[in-house]
Structure 1
Amino acid sequence: MDKIAIISTRLGGIDGVSIEANKWADAFIKLGLEPVFIAGDFNKKNSAKYILIEHMDFNHPEIIEIKEQAFTRAAENNIKEINSKNFKLREFLEKTKDLIKTKINSEIKRLDVRYISIENALSLPLNIPLGIALAEIISENKIKAITRHHDFYWERKEFLKSCIEDILIKYFPPVLNNLNHVVINSIAQKSLFLRKKIQAVYIPNIFDFKLLNNPRYQSLKIKKDLRDFLDIKENDFLFLQPTRIIRRKNIERSIDFVNKLSLILEKIIYLLITGLTEKHEFKYFKEVIDHAKKTGVNLILCNDYKNINFKNSNIKIKKVFKLFNIYDVYNACDMVTFPSDLEGFGNPVLEASAFKKPLFVNNYTVLKDILDKGFDFILINKIVDEKCLKKAARVMLNSKYREKVTDKNFKIVKKYFSSDYLIMALEEILQKKR
């Protein structure tokens, strides 16, 4: 069985890139390939399938320093070349690139890898040496590769000013004959062509409906066990925010939504946030906590946070994922909240629809690709207004209306976003003669 290496800065987590990489891995298996994973950080370790190369992690201290030099300090100082404490950026970039390249090449040779599938590492310059290394590996080895772009550096404010513009233009992403580009929304497809004349294949994210055949997700007992674990009473509502705690997710909108809706319904609503914050987003994390305390919204976090005291407050820690998985939470919740401003795609939209849950969502740019299919969501344009609250109240109080809305969304997601389409699209790319 031929091997395909799935490569990214980090894999195996609950972020969108990791989740989608796993779906592609399943599709590759169905196409007769054996996936192996190469990354700088994993939730899953101690397996022959998971190869850890620490310098591939964008949170590695040396990679953070390179990124700081290239972007943050360049923006602050507005200079073309930066030396700080004898730190010569381009020399260090080259040295780190060579280290990463040698290690990846070694694993490719050892495992006899025939194909490479790259997740976002050639899209965002979170790990600049990794991007350069991958481009050189693909070019020099003449190995057939697919790179999936979840978003691009020119879409992010933090990457607009740099002292490595030539590197960004050449490598993020590179133009190579044996590299096939995939995007997850039509806006990215147009943007990539306008910028680099690259004809990318549009493959939206998908939901594997075979998952729903698992008796676990039909079990009323597991649903009850989870709600009991969270101390949620039968008449209370559980809303799910299935994201990390980072600024672009706009969790304060979910808090405002829950606060206002609970007053209208005269019900207790708990907002469960599944993801962690990031080191550089800790200020925002504190803002979310303060906002929840100020509004009195019942917030449930799934992870411990040291040096923060949540005692005697409306915020509690419940380590849900020691006993349950994310799909258990989807199954047990009453509504999904996703008021993000910026997404490459937005997996919670599909997941909420597949589990027949109402969705409160902000009208972020690429949501148009999904909305055009005919979905019916509780939609806002950045503001939690009376219209969305009225619709949400109707959804929660009128079971027939809720069933009508969620059944409609389920049928649409099954028709347009299933794994069958993904398998067909990937097979076509792999069979290309180039």
Structure 2
Amino acid sequence: MRIGFVATRIAGVDGVSLEILKIAAILRDLGHGSFYLAGELGAFAQPGMEDPAFHFKYPEAVALHDEAFSGPEESRDLYRRIARAAEPLKARLYEFVEHYQLDAIITQNAQAIPMQIPLGVALRDFIDETHIPTLAHCHDFYWERDRFIVNRIPDILQTAFPSEGTSTQIMVINTAMQRELYARRKLKATVLPNIFDFETPAPVLDDYSRHVREDLDIAPGDRLILQPTRIIRRKNIERAVELVRLMQDQDPSRRYVLVVTGYAGDETDTYYDWLLRQVRINGVEARFIGDRIVEQRAERDGQRLYTLWDVYPHADLISYLSSYEGFGNALLETLYFRKPLVVNAYIPYRSDIKPAGVQAVEIREEVTPETARAALALLDDPAAVQQMVEHNYQVGLEHFSYHAVTPILKRLLGG
């Protein structure tokens, strides 16, 4: 089959782009061809069509989004302008399918979270008109984010996010989403969890990556607490700051350093500045290195730039204390790199990940002195760390690997 991926952006290291890359790898192993259409395409997303009007940062899309979520009153004029903006996007969808002679499309979050409202409408109408077989892969629904609840476009949200055409099959990334979608819309969905290539051994330190600690002024005997996420509020990085502070207080014999690899994300506000103040107030050693994390190794102004995979092997402990995650790419990366984990028990962790057997130091929204004691006790027992990480790797291999989800994709694609 020739299968087209459609999204607002297929580039960089955001969760949706990463999952597209992984699913495309599975499709390739199954003998299918993959093609891409988005507002931004990374080097891996080829062959494809890049159209800036598909991006969630496209000026017209931003203006319509901001107006749609500025209050509760519906506006006939707003509906008309969204419909007009959707028309050229629908035309481009026709062109994409015809140019690459596609047999099916996989939409990636474009029918789930209304960052690009005209695109959701265009996809709804295009699929209704063509009946092209469609897998609507949903990573976040609008009702999961407070900022989308008050809106002027309830009919669009009800019919396009997601749409329910007869040729559409919906995929969600956790069972909680599956249940909520059925409760709200009476729509059935298949769970396709986030995945990782557990079958391929993790990269090890080499002559390039072994310089990470040196370049970050972190000594071999220091403990590196890694926060491998974007810098946005729902990641609750202040909890990692508190964890490091408590660990340092309870074990002053060595230095504890928090390393944050992400950048300030799409949900821009004052959180980053506030977080820097929390670091200073708490006297925590921290390194914010998002500007040095790249997709491919390089040098800039005499500095080595690293991939995220270069940093993981240096971590002693991973902090993953988000209040909300659709699933948790960084958590799967933690299992893959065989690192111990401190995690906030967010909903998909409780519904899908912990029941699969993953072991971790857990909190329920609050980092306490007991949390730090549990983390320290674990790190001070290398045998316990080894048992935990090997167990977790096997859980990942069984439940969240390419091999684990290949039968699901084969069934949805008709064999």
1:388 matched residue in structure 2: 371
2:131 is aligned with 1:148: no
2:229 is aligned with 1:243: yes
How many residues are aligned here?
405
Deviation at 1:225, TM superposition (A): 2.2
| 1:354-373 map, 5 Å | 354-368=336-350, 369-373=352-356
- Secondary structure of 1:146's partner? strand
Residues 2 and 33 in structure 2, CA contact (< 8 A), matched pair in contact too: yes
1:18 matched residue in structure 2: 17
Residues 302 and 320 in structure 1, CA contact (< 8 A), matched pair in contact too: no
* 1:405 aligns with one of 375, 388, 391: 388
Gaps of 5+ in 1: 83-87, 305-317
| 1:107-256 map, 5 Å | 107-212=96-201, 217-219=203-205, 221-256=207-242
Q: Which amino acid aligns with 1:411?
A: Q
Residues 247 and 281 in structure 1, CA contact (< 8 A), matched pair in contact too: no
Residues 227 and 318 in structure 2, CA contact (< 8 A), matched pair in contact too: yes
* 1:294 aligns with one of 272, 281, 297: 281
1:68 matched residue in structure 2: 66
1:270 matched residue in structure 2: 257
Q: TM-score w.r.t. structure 1 length?
A: 0.89
Moved more, 246-255 or 217-226: 217-226
Distance 2:182 2:88 in 1: 32
Measured on the aligned residues, the alpha-carbon RMSD in Å equals 1.9
Distance 1:297 1:166 in 2: 48
Residues 14 and 275 in structure 1, CA contact (< 8 A), matched pair in contact too: no
Q: Which amino acid aligns with 2:73?
A: I
Deviations 1:254-311 (A, max 9, x none): 111111112222222222222221354231111111111222222222345xxxxxxx
* 1:324 aligns with one of 275, 290, 306: 306
Distance 1:42 1:384 in 2: 39
Deviation at 1:142, TM superposition (A): 2.0
1:80 matched residue in structure 2: 74
Distance 2:146 2:373 in 1: 35
| 1:90-105 map, 5 Å | 90-105=79-94
Deviation at 1:5, TM superposition (A): 1.0
Q: Which amino acid aligns with 2:228?
A: P
Deviation at 1:205, TM superposition (A): 1.3
Moved more, 248-257 or 232-241: 232-241
- Secondary structure of 2:268's partner? helix
1:417 matched residue in structure 2: 400
Deviation at 1:50, TM superposition (A): 3.9
Gaps of 5+ in 2: 299-304
1:307 matched residue in structure 2: none
Deviation at 1:13, TM superposition (A): 1.7
61 and 36 in structure 1: CA distance in 2 versus 1, 3 angstrom threshold:
same
Deviation at 1:221, TM superposition (A): 4.0
1:58 matched residue in structure 2: 56
Q: Which amino acid aligns with 2:82?
A: L
Moved more, 356-365 or 277-286: 277-286
- Secondary structure of 1:282's partner? coil
Moved more, 23-32 or 278-287: 278-287
- Secondary structure of 2:199's partner? helix
Q: Which amino acid aligns with 1:20?
A: E
Distance 1:270 1:18 in 2: 30
Deviations 1:331-368 (A, max 9, x none): 22111111101111111222111211011111111111
Deviations 1:104-160 (A, max 9, x none): 221221111221111111111111100011112222222111011112111221111
Distance 1:129 1:295 in 2: 45
- Secondary structure of 2:107's partner? strand
- Secondary structure of 2:409's partner? helix
1:85 matched residue in structure 2: none
Distance 1:393 1:162 in 2: 46
Q: Which amino acid aligns with 1:360?
A: V
- Secondary structure of 2:125's partner? helix
- Secondary structure of 1:211's partner? coil
Residues 187 and 366 in structure 1, CA contact (< 8 A), matched pair in contact too: yes
Distance 2:396 2:28 in 1: 23
Deviations 1:196-247 (A, max 9, x none): 221111121111123316xxx1335444222223232111122221111111
Moved more, 25-34 or 2-11: 2-11
Percent identity for Structure 1 against Structure 2: 30
